[in-house]
Amino acid sequence: MALLLGLLALTPVYAAGVLSVANTVFTLMPQGRPAAISVSNNGDAPLYLDVVQQRVLNPGELPERRVAIQNVPQPDLLIPLKQLVVHPGQTRKIPVNVIFTPPHTTVWRVAFRQREALSGTGVDSASFVKLSVSYGVLIYHIGTSEKGS
């Protein structure tokens, strides 16, 4: 038993952040109330996240064709953050800023991608598996022509 406890003491322990996104799909109506994406860290380490906003050009089709917001000529909504830190036990609300209501419904994906990878000291880094986990939100921005349907 003492040997087992000794081996456990030598085993490296990795703290991890655990991201939770409150609503993964939501709809923005014309002249609707302001929206926000709520993210929480339920883990025991900070999460360093990249926030990626993309417009879906062919909603409902596979594979999806997406274009980054910086390549959309006139984006109708904007997520103001590109990077985000969420500490353990913290909840952050990221505003969804409506620039204008489009004539037809647009679909957007917002992904939260973890920025750090596992690493160890004294261990060959080639033995680690790098895993990129992304948490996504799908936003339907209803256009003016569809608001009565």
Quick one: pLDDT at residue 22? 83
Which pTM was predicted?
Answer: 0.78
More confident site: 33 or 102: 102
Residue 48, pLDDT above cutoff 80: yes
Q: What is the pLDDT of residues 71-85, one digit of tens each?
A: 999 999 999 999 999
Radius of gyration from C-alpha coordinates of the chain: 20
Residue 8, pLDDT above cutoff 50: no
**H/E element holding 76?**
none
